[in-house]
Amino acid sequence: MRLIIENTAADVGFWAAKYIKRKILDFNPGPDKYFTLGLPTGSTPMGTYQKLIEFYKAGKLSFKYVKTFNMDEYCDIPRDHPESYHSFMWNHLFKHIDIEPENAHLLDGNAPDLDKECEEYERKIVQAGGIQLFLGGIGPDGHIAFNEPGSSLVSRTRVKTLAQETIIANARFFGGDIAKVPTRALTVGVGTVMDAKEVMILITGAHKAYALHKAIEGGVSHMFTVSAFQMHKNTIFVCDEDATMELKVKTVKYFKGLHNLHEKLIEEKL
């Protein structure tokens, strides 16, 4: 595991975007070789998306040969609802870059047969050659995607009922009205994300400090699904100073000592 500690949430977004750019460029995608990127929604990745858009606009990065797979989508709200994850992704990323719309995959939370929709999604990921890099955020209860506490750590894409904590956390996007937050969602499983070649999880803010502590210093537990990534060969956690508040001094010192090594991961190649 790597833990990258940046000063601010904005620095986290910049670091993550530079890492994604570096990975895509190194992969050298083309018509016969698409780079597959897993993506989250939420406020945490917004800075990363903004920087990716800037790279695209500056001609430093293209998404023409990139396929994306989003982690999750609400059920029971229309696709064009302003708070659907479809709307979020189009507004915050896809409409600003050169990705082909058919390459930007999102689950359909209104599909007539939700189980079939989930099975199909898994099949599409396999067909695309698996995910190269899965970007994720976490909920304050340590959930990844919508894998709420108690989710199987080998779960696949499926329908989930949201935990009360998630509904409360997400009410801010629905005018603060808990009754308006959907109670079900489709989500990739922990196992689906674990299959990715690499996983990068962004954690920012003091309100996520306990979650970061549990994610990397606690044991692996299905009650804290992000902890599963302790068992993944290639996981990078990127956090800001505020999120380190519950970590041991020893942990912080160790990873800060690796700063120069971490900078090499995002170095621009000439």
Ligand X SMILES: N[C@@H]1[C@@H](O)[C@H](O)[C@@H](COP(=O)(O)O)O[C@@H]1O
Part of the chain binding ligand X (CB under 6 A), chosen from 14-22, 38-46, 176-184, 224-232 = 38-46
With binding defined as CB under 6 A, does residue 121 bind ligand X?
Answer: no
* Per-position b or e across 213-248, b if 16+ CB within 10 A of its CB: bbbbeeeebbebbbbbbeebeebbbbbbbbbbeebe
With binding defined as CB under 6 A, does residue 195 bind ligand X?
Answer: no
Contact 66, 29 (CB under 8 A): yes
Contact 196, 231 (CB under 8 A): no
- For residue 94, the tally of other CB atoms under 10 A from its CB is 22
Nearer to ligand X, 27 or 149 (CB): 149
For residue 262, which amino acid is it? H
With binding defined as CB under 6 A, does residue 3 bind ligand X?
Answer: no
With binding defined as CB under 6 A, does residue 146 bind ligand X?
Answer: yes
**Positions marked catalytic:** 72, 141, 143, 148
Nearer to ligand X, 61 or 181 (CB): 181
With binding defined as CB under 6 A, does residue 137 bind ligand X?
Answer: yes
With binding defined as CB under 6 A, does residue 142 bind ligand X?
Answer: no
The sign of the dihedral angle between the CA atoms of 259, 233, 222, 201 is positive
Q: How far is the CB of 33 from ligand X (least distance, A)?
A: 28
With binding defined as CB under 6 A, does residue 109 bind ligand X?
Answer: no
With binding defined as CB under 6 A, does residue 42 bind ligand X?
Answer: yes
For residue 183, which amino acid is it? T
Total number of residues that touch ligand X (CB under 6 A): 13
Contact 2, 237 (CB under 8 A): yes
State the residues that interact with ligand X by CB under 6 A. Answer: 40-44, 71-72, 137-139, 145-146, 166
